[in-house]
């Protein structure tokens, strides 16, 4: 290996993380959490999406887990957006407002 190259992947340990980069900052937005109901591309199954929560990584997953427990449904975190199966906009809005977030119901 040359002096300027760096190891990115090893068959023994897998992907090699580089600690030089700081953890990503919370997404910058307008400070409003938006809750939508989406069915497009989901074979008619509706999901509630929550975007704009100023958290990343494990914090966002923790919030998603608590909201899934509140709604009694499944869900996931994808690209910084929480998806919860079913239409639970009112429950989620009330819970997030209790936590101090500014919440808007977006879409139809």
Find all residues with CB under 8 Å of 13, minimum gap 6, and list them: none
CA separation for the pair 17, 20 (Å, rounded): 9
Q: Which of 15, 92, 80, 10 is nearest to 48 (CA)?
A: 92
72 and 95 in contact (C-beta within 8 Å)?
no
CA separation for the pair 67, 4 (Å, rounded): 46
Assigned token pair, 86: 């079913």
Does pTM surpass 0.75? no
Where is pLDDT greater, at 18 or 63?
63
Where is pLDDT greater, at 49 or 8?
49
CA dihedral 81, 84, 89, 95 (to 10 degrees): -80
What are 47-68's pLDDT values in tens digits? 999 998 888 888 899 999 999 9
Domains of the chain plus CATH, in order, are 23-105 (3.30.780.10)
Angle among Cα 20, 23, 28 to the nearest 5 degrees reads 135
Assigned token pair, 96: 């997030």
Residue 107 pLDDT exceeds 90: no
């Amino acid at each position: 290996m040359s002096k300027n190259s760096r190891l990115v992947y090893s068959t023994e340990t897998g992907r090699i993380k580089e600690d030089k980069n700081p953890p990503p900052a919370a997404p910058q937005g307008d400070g409003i959490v938006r809750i939508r109901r989406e069915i497009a591309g989901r074979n008619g199954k509706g999901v509630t999406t929550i975007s704009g929560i100023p958290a990343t990584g494990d914090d966002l997953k923790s919030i998603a887990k608590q909201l899934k427990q509140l709604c009694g449904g499944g869900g996931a975190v994808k690209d910084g957006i929480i998806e919860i199966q079913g239409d639970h906009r009112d429950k989620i809005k009330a819970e997030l407002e209790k936590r101090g977030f500014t919440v808007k119901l977006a879409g139809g």
